[in-house]
Amino acid sequence: MRRKQREKQRQQPSLTFNIEALSHEGRGISHYATQEGHPIDKTGKKVFVAFALPGETVNAQVHETHKKYEEADCEMVLANPSPDRIEPVCPHFGICGGCSLQHMHPDAQIRFKHDVLASHFQHFGGLEPEQWLPPLRSTRTDYRRKARLGVRWVAKKDRMLVGFRERKSSYLTDLNVCKVLDAQIGERLEQLKQLLIGLAGRENISQLEMAIGDEIANVTADGQAIDNKSVAMIVRHLKPLIDSDVQQLLAFAHEVNWQLYLQPEGYDSVHRIDQPDAPMRLYYELPDFNVRFAFSPLDFTQVNRDMNRQMVTLACDLLDLKQGERVLDLFCGLGNFSLPLARRVGPSGQVVAVEGSSEMVARGFENAALNGMNNLEFYAQDLTKDFSYQPWAAQGFDALLIDPPRSGAEEVMHYLPKFNARRIVYVSCNPATLARDAGILAQSGYRMKKAGVMDMFTHTGHVESIALFEKS
C-alpha cells in the first residue's frame, strides 16, 4: 500500500506556491491562487509546505489532500530564497523523520520557537510575560544522548538498515551517520551495521536502544568505584541469540567500552551482559550544584546534557530560593530538579518531590543517598487524580516547580492555590498546554513574570519553554 501511495505521489504535478508564514510545526503556509498551474476550484485552500520558508516562491509536490488543507514538500526554491535558509548539516535530511528544520538557520529556529510560544500565550487568554527571557541555546549537532534506532535486515537486497523512521512512513531510513546524535553513536552507525550483518540471528534484531551518561572518575558515597562506561546499548531480539552472536556483541562492547544489554521480550527482560553483576546504571552530573545522578538506560532523562544543565540552573535562579524554605517539585522524575532545589534551600530547608512512577521515586531516594542529602522526601502519586487527602499535600510551600509531560498539569493547576506558594516555575515541553495552564494560574491570582524558550531539540519543531509565576 505504501509503495502505491508513493507511486501516486510521484505522478502528481509540481505546483508553485508563495510562502506566507510558518505553521506551529515549522512548515511553510501558502494558499492556492488563481494563477497558471493552480486548479481554479481550489482557490484559497490552505497548503502546508514542508522545508519552505516565509517570503519564498517554491516548487512543491502535494502528497496528501484533506478537506480543508493539503500537504506538500518543497522541491526547489524558485525565487526570493530566505536569508534564513542554510544547507542542512545531515545528508539524510528530508528523508529521515528525526529532524524537520535543518534548512533553517539555528538563530531563525529559536526565533520561530519564541514566536510559537508567544502565539499560544495570546491564544489562551491574551497572556504575555512581563519580561521575555533570552533563549537558552545549545550546540547545533552532536547533542542527543538518548535514541531508539530501528533495525531491519533486508535479505533480498543483502542490506542491514539502522536508523529512524522515514517522514510519514513506517519504513526505516538507511542512515550511515546522524549529526544530531552524540558522536559516540552518530559516527558509529556504519560500524553498528557491520556488527549486526555478521550475526547469524541478524534478521531477529529489531531495535537498538542507546543511552549516554557522563564519564565519572570519582567514587560513590558508599566508597564503591563507579563504572566509567558512559554509553549503554540495549539489543532487542525477537528470538534467542546463539552463543557466537552474543560473543560478537560482547567483543564489540569491549572494544568501544560500552555497557551491553539484551532485551528478549518486554522492558522487564532487559539484562546486562558485559558485566552481569554490575548495576544497570549510567551517571550524569550537574556541576553547578555538585550533584550526581544514577539512572537506568531505560529511565527518562533529558536528551541534551548541556541544555539540561542550563535549564536546571535557570529554574533555580528564577525561584530565587532562600536557606530554610520549603519547595514542592511536581512530576519530579528521578530528581533532576529536586536535588538542585535541595542544595539551594540548604540543610534547614526541605524539598518534597512527587512523581507518578514508584520506580522513579525509588531512583530519587537512591540519588539523594548517592549525594548524602537528607532534606528531600519523595512520594509516589498519580498527579492526574485527586491527591488532596495526602499528608504532603496539606503542607504549605514557599515555592513550586512543575515539569509535567506533554499533556500538561491541568488537574494540578486547580489545587495549586491551596499550597499558598508565592513563586512557581513551570517547565514545559508543549507550549499549548503551558499556555492553557498559565491561563488557569492567572485566574488564581498568579502573574506571569518571565518566560522564554530553550533549544533542547535543535533542528526540530519541538518547543521547550520555561515560565515564572508570582502571586499577586
Active site residues: 429
Burial of 416 (C-beta count, 10 Å sphere; 0-12/13-18/19+): buried
From CA 271, how far away is CA 216, in angstroms rounded?
22
Q: CB neighbours of 60 closer than 8 A, spacing ≥ 6?
A: 14, 15, 16, 17, 47, 49, 52, 72, 73, 74, 75
The gap from C-alpha 459 to its chain's centroid, in whole angstroms, comes to: 12
- Region label for 362, one of left (φ > 0), alpha (ψ between -120 and 50) or beta (otherwise): alpha
Residue 256 to residues 112, 184, 259, 274, 391: CA-CA distances in angstroms?
39, 9, 9, 12, 49
Give exposure, 163-190, as e/b (b: 16+ Cβ within 10 Å).
Answer: bbebbeeebbbbbeebbbbbebbbebbe
Residue with cell 547533542: 143
List, edge to edge, every strand of the sheet that includes 205-212: 159-163, 146-154, 205-212, 231-237, 259-263, 271-272
CA distance 196 to 184: 17
How many other CB atoms sit within 10 Å of the CB of residue 471? 14
Using DSSP bridges, classify how beta strands 146-154 and 205-212 pair: parallel, antiparallel or unpaired: antiparallel
Q: Distance between CA atoms of 258 and 249, rounded to whole angstroms?
A: 11
SS (H, E, C) 154-191: EHHHCEEEEECEECCCCCECCCCCCCCECHHHHCCHHH
The answer to whether 354 and 379 are in contact (CB under 8 A) is: yes
Residues 6+ apart with CB under 8 A from 94: 51, 73, 88, 167
Q: For residue 160, list its beta bridge partners.
A: 153
Q: Are strands 326-330 and 291-295 parallel, antiparallel or unpaired?
A: unpaired
